[in-house]
Structure 1
Amino acid sequence: MNLDAVRELFDTEMRRGAPGERVGPAAGHVVRHTSDARGWNAVLWSDLTEQTADAVIAEQVRHYTALGLDFEWKHYSHDRPEDLPRRLRAAGFVPEDPEAVMVAETAGLAVPPVLPDGVRLVEVTDAAGIDLMVRAHDLAFGTDGTRIGQQVLDRLTEAPDTVSVVVALAGDEPVSAARAEFDPGTRFASLWGGGTAPEWRGRGIYRALVAHRARTAAARGYHYLQSDAVLDTSRPILQRLGFAQISVTTPYNYSVAARG
């Protein structure tokens, strides 16, 4: 892959062209997504300069604060200006851990999944399946997956063609889960989740979940797979599978309540 070309295509299709509200150009452009307190609220893309950045940041804070909504500024390492992270922190944003933006061509990964004995993959289509996904999430990450479960269920209900969810079951117990999201009109399918319960790691389940989602994406005509990978854990696995890094993304979170 030509990584520079793929990065530009990713920015064009998945960020500048993402569903949401394009704001500007008085001080600078952003694309932002506004939902409700249960959904995802975020600035997805920005076109800023050293002269316009602070005013645009302040405007997004005012927008979401007026609605009483916490939100995320999804920063990428190739975004400008270079000191945008410093400006976001100065405005009250708190960064999470950075993640590598990894991309691979779908065709090379669309192979039959290979699972350990006693494990099977089940497609999720309803609330009962989402409960299994949340249980797998809780086991894998040690955090409460209730909110993300509700968000995925909402998407399955409202736009089922844009998401595919799969759970790995050992007997009847969920041991891993993952999803792929499909944005119409783009060439990228996004991979999310993929966490595996600690006692089941190292047995090829993650690789099988990637292969399953790659086959689904290929069948729907998507040319690339994209995943945000934790730098020290998921990134090496994806690299071994053939993914390449095109950027680093860091969520900068703004809490209305914390800012008073």
Structure 2
Amino acid sequence: MSDDLLAAYDSQLRTGAETAHALTTHAHGPLRLAVFPGGQGFVSYADLGGADAAQIELLIDAALDHFRGEEGITSVEWKTRGHDQAPGLYDALDQRGFVAEDTESIMIGETALLALELAAPHGILIRRARTRADVWAMEEMQGRVFDDPNWEVRAETTFRRIQEDDEVELWIAESDGRVVSAGRLEPVAGTQFAGLWGGATVEAWRGRGIYRALTAERARSALARGKKYLNSDSTEFSRPILERAGLVRVSTTTPYVWTPPPA
């Protein structure tokens, strides 16, 4: 079962799906080099085409050369996957100044397994976030949880997205009008997947079933949209919850991030 899920992930969710909302994209061999709002560069690929260690080094150098030639690049993420055949990739990235961030679990499962009728905990209201005020409250909370000083930039980008793309859904859980948990649902056009992203809960509110109820709400919405699978890159906070709901850990992903030196 997990092999089938991983095959669906590789064939449907890499390259085009990952860069659909990029400002620009550029192909170089197997690589897709994208730039997102805020000057965030991103490197994606379905696979590395059987490249050996020397060829992989050349691909990394070409990617860096490309982004060095772009105006306003603030960072570049090379998204690695634990199941890829990529000899020497991690060492080569490290040698060129990329820094590994936390490894996350690639979780996939059937939407119907998560689309449960779960009551929200007492005093918690779960609803769609639709207004600018909703989005800013959600992103400010997630910025605190993830210690992200750039949450305001992301809030503006997120609000523009939901104005332009009615497929993206933002869900929040509130207590007395204060956002204590949140997450996105992103149906992927042309695929059987919808992604569960941005899941975060304020530390003092964890362990009460809020995130599980929020996930069930998103799953029911995905099921209504005809999506067979849900996927998520999960931290160790959310992975056990998704596993209990029926998602399977099919691989891992580790972002490697390069930051340009000061001018």
For the criterion TM > 0.5, the same-fold answer is yes
Deviation at 1:158, TM superposition (A): 2.2
Deviation at 1:39, TM superposition (A): 5.7
Q: Identify the residue that residue 7 of structure 1 maps to in structure 2.
A: 6
One-letter code of the match for 1:181?
E
Q: Identify the residue that residue 60 of structure 1 maps to in structure 2.
A: 63
One-letter code of the match for 1:54?
E
Q: Identify the residue that residue 203 of structure 2 maps to in structure 1.
A: 198
**Hey, what's the Cα distance between the residues in 2 that align with 1:141 and 1:34?**
22
Change (3 A) 1:158 1:257: farther
Conserved in 2, the CA contact under 8 Å of 1:140 and 1:197?
yes
Conserved in 2, the CA contact under 8 Å of 1:30 and 1:43?
yes
Structure 1 residues 81-160: aligned runs within 5 Å: 81-144=86-149, 145-160=151-166
Deviation at 1:22, TM superposition (A): 6.0
Deviation at 1:200, TM superposition (A): 1.3
Deviation at 1:133, TM superposition (A): 0.5
One-letter code of the match for 1:165?
L
**Hey, what's the Cα distance between the residues in 1 that align with 2:98 and 2:209?**
37
Conserved in 1, the CA contact under 8 Å of 2:140 and 2:152?
no
**Hey, what's the Cα distance between the residues in 2 that align with 1:186 and 1:79?**
21
In the alignment, structure 1 segments of 5+ residues that lack a partner are: none
Change (3 A) 1:90 1:142: closer
TM-score by length of 1: 0.90
SS at 1:210 equivalent? helix
One-letter code of the match for 1:72?
E
Structure 1 residues 1-260: aligned runs within 5 Å: 2-18=1-17, 19=20, 21=25, 23-25=27-29, 29-36=30-37, 38=38, 40-45=40-45, 46-48=47-49, 49-50=51-52, 51-68=54-71, 69=73, 70-144=75-149, 145-161=151-167, 163-230=168-235, 232-257=236-261
Q: CA offsets, 1:209-241, max 9 Å, x none?
A: 1101101111111111111112x3322222111
One-letter code of the match for 1:160?
D
Deviation at 1:113, TM superposition (A): 3.3
Conserved in 1, the CA contact under 8 Å of 2:56 and 2:88?
no
One-letter code of the match for 1:63?
H
Aligned residues: 252
Deviation at 1:159, TM superposition (A): 1.8
Conserved in 2, the CA contact under 8 Å of 1:139 and 1:196?
no
**Hey, what's the Cα distance between the residues in 2 that align with 1:30 and 1:7?**
20
Change (3 A) 1:257 1:153: farther
Q: Greater shift after overlay, 145-154 or 173-182?
A: 145-154
SS at 1:184 equivalent? coil
> Structure 1 vs Structure 2: percent identity of aligned residues?
34
SS at 2:83 equivalent? coil
TM-score by length of 2: 0.89
